Chain A
Amino acid sequence: MTTVGIVSYGAYIPRYRIRVGEIARVWNDDGEKVSRGLGVYEKSVPAMDEDTVTISVEAARTALENAGINPQDIGAVYVGSESHPYAVKPSATIVAEAIYATPDLTAADLEFACKAGTAGIQMCMGLVKAGYIKYGLAIGADTSQGKPGDALEYTASAGGAAYIIGRDKLIAEIKDTYSFTTDTPDFWRREGQEYPEHGQRFTGEPAYFRHVVSASKKIMERNKLKPEDFDHVVFHQPNGKFPKIAAKKLGFSDDQLNTGLLTPLIGNTYSGSSPLGLAAVLDEAKANQLILLTSYGSGAGSDSFIIKTTKGIEKRKNVRPVRQLVNRKEYIDYAIYAKFKGKIKGVALER
């Protein structure tokens, strides 16, 4: 059996932050109560010139710098996002061109709400394992949208992570991957709609928890592993509360969860969410550690991965660690936020 895994990774989080309390002030909400309820205190905001493509390029460049490989050896680029700047015209081609990976490669954009990034990792794993390509680049990135005044506005943020998948020079092996998928419409945005809609409480039990818990349980069962066998666990993080509840349901401790839990400080980066959480864990991980990663995408599905770090992880450190990106921040108020996000009527940004 050919071993596949992570050759390197890179992350990117825009520097701007808005506090939950500032958003609550505008909508006459109790900011402290909202923060306590959601487990989110501030979120990242993309600047006017940032979008899914620029975030993807930043993350991909860091991944390449960390890997020290020739971009021409990349045979596939997949960008997973629900905020691709173009409805028709790929983000992946811009990214591939910007990192000098063109023209001998395949490229495509993916969308599966918040889990398109991990879906890209699975696709790269397949191509690498089959021997069609040497390296594959999978990215999960978003500049997610929340309707002004909607609960989503407290969490929808921006960021992303890129993973180079290959057979050699691995910093971590991917031992197994398993997906749990159903048609569960908990969150959606139709063609032409500016903001997504969600099914309120429906997004919890039958959507997030059923899929995250089922996928995690199944992959542990078929690998004969228990929660206590893992050093770290990363779940999709739509808010600070859901991953904690999922961890508790499955029997993971706060210590296993906390290294990769970023939502309280950056919000929900959607397709970037669990990939960024994994990146934060890999930043801290030592050799021979076991990590469980389970993403979640509304609609709905979860991709689970069992990842084991190699000695390589101690040799090649991430040049731009995730926590550094989390701490690099500049606060803005709601007015500037509204301008950056194109929410001021009449001065919509040219797309």
Chain B
Amino acid sequence: MARDVAVIGVGMTKFGEFWDRGYRSLITEAGSKAIIDARIDGKDIDAVYVGSMSPGRLIGQEHVGALVADYAGLVGVPAARVEAACSSGGLALHQAYLAIKSGLYDIVVVGGVEKMTDVSTEHATVALAGAADQEWEAFHGITFPGLYALMARRHMMDYGTTEEQISLISVKNHANGKLNPYAQYQYDVTLEDVMKSSMVADPLRLMHCSPITDGAATVVLASGEKAKKVCENPIWIKGSALATDTLSLHGRKSITKVEASAMAGKKAYQMAKVKPSKIDFAEVHDCFAIAEILAIESLGFCKIGKGGEMVENGETWIDSRIPINTSGGLKAKGHPVGATGIAQAIEATWQLRGQADKRQVKGAKTGLTQNVGGSGATCTVHIFSEEK
């Protein structure tokens, strides 16, 4: 007997560069906020999942499932760390969804956290490169800006996507981030700022790249039955899907189609019984500006190759056809990798509860989140609805 799963509480830290805060302090804050928001007690919690990509390399700490349960005052509760590079958060959410769906657990707390600024930029870049194929990509010197630059160049060549179109994504996401008090960068950038910023990996410039960020995010999931008892405004997870692709970019038939995203999207749409045209807003994985174009294409918001045009036509701003990354996205909100997938779910929840303040999408009923690991080897897609 399939059960319904709902989000009954959310909480996150501000995203940013926190010299004076550690890993455990961040996740504990996000967790406490979510538990308070859900109005539950520790004794109600059946299990904890934590998405975290690289604490071992970034702060020298592994075994963070037990660590988080310990610091949350939940010793004894089943707790597990989940890892799938930058999609660790989305994967943790999927695992928590399955755990409730299975009938084993009724209330699960699922968090995501990363503490990235204790190490140098070079060190963090090397840690992140662990999401690529170490033997076939990273050993040869390519890092993520390089991989996404290859995808951007090919997209420009195949479909005529322009640097301006790619840059407009950063402009929009900063405009949205300005409205989000949790965002790392709460200020506008102009098209000129973006296009004149330092070149990182041609054609990607500094202002096309998401930053290195500290932060944590947590949601509380409950079975439909429990949700109705404890929560006035549950947000329902209508679809939760996971798909994979080749780990290395060169293994794919096309480097401009994110197949894992298309597959997870298709599955999630089937589960939710909706079409892309019924999605009111989406949080997608813009680790680099080009990735947002690849995301909206793979999720069916436009035809393959038409993403740049859709951005240029202004169809992805708040109050337009389909608002993308109302939170500011990874670019402006920040990208503490393990926390990103959960933070996307929180934005979706706030939008559907009508709590997104100045960035509220009017009449939002159905929202989608897409979280990508590496250059697209793992992808999770979730569909949220205010209606059961």
Contacts and interface: CB of A to CB of B under 8 A. Distances in A.
A286 B117 CA distance: 47
A206 B120 contact: no
Interface string B103-129: 000000000000001001100000000
B124 to A, nearest CB: 10
B16 to A, nearest CB: 11
B309 to A, nearest CB: 33
B44 interface: no
B20 interface: yes
Nearest to A207: B19
A202 to B, nearest CB: 6
B17 interface: yes
The listed residue with most A CB atoms (<10 A of its CB), out of B17, B19, B20, B198, is B19
Contact of B20 (A33, A199, A201, A206): A206
B120 A200 contact: yes
A209 to B, nearest CB: 12
A200 B120 CA distance: 7
A33 B117 CA distance: 25
* Chain A interface main SS type: helix
B121 A206 contact: no
A349 B281 CA distance: 66
Nearest to A30: B198
Contacts of A201: 17, 117
* Chain B interface main SS type: loop
Interface in B1-51: 17, 19-20
Interface string B176-199: 000000000000000000000010
A199 B122 CA distance: 11
Contacts of B120: 199-200
- For this complex, into which size category does the number of interface residues on chain B fall? under 10
B58 to A, nearest CB: 15
A205 interface: yes
A205 B121 contact: no
B32 to A, nearest CB: 25
Interface in A196-219: 199-202, 205-206
A182 B136 CA distance: 46
A216 B51 CA distance: 44
Interface residues of A, number: 7
Nearest to A210: B19
B19 A200 contact: no
B19 to A, nearest CB: 5
B356 to A, nearest CB: 30
A201 B119 CA distance: 11
A199 B117 CA distance: 10
A205 B117 CA distance: 14
Interface string B245-256: 000000000000
A202 B19 contact: yes
A202 B212 CA distance: 13
A214 to B, nearest CB: 15
Contacts of A205: 19
B148 to A, nearest CB: 22
A201 B116 CA distance: 13
A200 B17 CA distance: 12
A202 B120 CA distance: 10
Contacts of A199: 120
A49 B61 CA distance: 48
Contacts of A33: 198
Contacts of B19: 202, 205-206
B20 A200 contact: no
Contacts of B198: 33
A206 B118 CA distance: 13
A202 B198 CA distance: 21
A206 B19 CA distance: 7
B122 to A, nearest CB: 9
Interface string A172-201: 000000000000000000000000000111
A202 B117 CA distance: 9
A201 B120 CA distance: 9
Contacts of B121: 200
Contacts of B17: 201
B213 to A, nearest CB: 13
A205 B20 CA distance: 12
B206 to A, nearest CB: 12
Nearest to B121: A200
Interface string B186-224: 000000000000100000000000000000000000000
A266 to B, nearest CB: 27
Contacts of B117: 201
Nearest to B19: A206
Contacts of A206: 19-20
A199 B123 CA distance: 12
Contacts of A200: 120-121
A33 B198 CA distance: 10
A199 B19 CA distance: 11
A206 B120 CA distance: 16
A189 B121 CA distance: 19
A262 to B, nearest CB: 28
Interface in B134-193: none
B64 to A, nearest CB: 24
Interface string A3-36: 0000000000000000000000000000001000
Contacts of B20: 206
A201 B213 CA distance: 13
A33 B121 CA distance: 20
Contacts of A202: 19
A282 B226 CA distance: 76
A157 B198 CA distance: 27
A200 B124 CA distance: 13
A202 B121 CA distance: 11
A34 to B, nearest CB: 11
10 contacts: A33-B198, A199-B120, A200-B120, A200-B121, A201-B17, A201-B117, A202-B19, A205-B19, A206-B19, A206-B20
Closest 6 CB pairs of A and B: A206-B19, A200-B120, A200-B121, A202-B19, A201-B17, A205-B19
Given A33-B198, A202-B19, A205-B19, 7 more contacts: A199-B120, A200-B120, A200-B121, A201-B17, A201-B117, A206-B19, A206-B20
